[in-house]
Amino acid sequence: DAGVTQSPTHLIKTRGQHVTLRCSPISGHKSVSWYQQVLGQGPQFIFQYYEKEERGRGNFPDRFSARQFPNYSSELNVNALLLGDSALYLCASSSHNSGDTDTQYFGPGTRLTVL
């Protein structure tokens, strides 16, 4: 069984540009969460989607947006990129919205560098 997949693996952008990151969850999983991991820090929660609806949003500016598609894959969009957006962007999938024992499985991440 394939795990969580993310694309692209690496991305280099310049300030002010826009970026779209993609995630495919584990087959059968309906929930996708996005996290930002800055170098030397733990992942920070950005969004959670379940059944195509936003179920949670972290403390990130409106430049960050996301959506989930009918096949449960997801996109994270970031507009007007800043140098501080340089980070590893992680996608995690789980089978439920917020089950007590629900486990989040992470993908390999997309490393975004903003110049």
Partner 1 sequence: QKEVEQDPGPLSVPEGAIVSLNCTYSNSAFQYFMWYRQYSRKGPELLMYTYSSGNKEDGRFTAQVDKSSKYISLFIRDSQPSDSATYLCAMKRPAGANSKLTFGKGITLSVRP
Q: Which stretch binds partner 1 (CB under 8 A): 11-19, 44-52, 66-74, 75-83?
A: 44-52
42 binds partner 1 (CB under 8 A): yes
- Which residues, including other chains, have CB under 8 Å from residue 43's CB and lie 6 or more apart? 35, 36, 37, 90
In 3D space, the residue among 21, 22, 25 whose CA is nearest the CA of residue 4 turns out to be 25
Q: Which is nearer to partner 1, 64 or 105 (CB)?
A: 105
Give 15 or 27: the residue with its C-beta nearer to partner 1: 27
Decide: is 25 part of the binding site for partner 1 (CB under 8 A): no
CB 15 within 8 A of CB 81: yes
Q: Are strands 110-114 and 10-13 parallel, antiparallel or unpaired?
A: parallel
β-pairing verdict for 74-78 and 64-68:
antiparallel
**Of the ranges 12-20, 28-36, 60-68, 69-77, which one interacts with partner 1 (CB under 8 A)?**
28-36
Cα separation of 4 and 59, whole Å?
24
Q: How far is the CB of 13 from partner 1 (least distance, A)?
A: 19
Q: Tokens 């024992």 label which residue? A: 101
Q: Is 72 in the site for partner 1 (CB under 8 A)?
A: no
* Chain residues that interact with partner 1, rule: CB under 8 A: 4, 31, 33, 35, 40-45, 48, 55-56, 58, 90, 92, 94, 97-109, 111
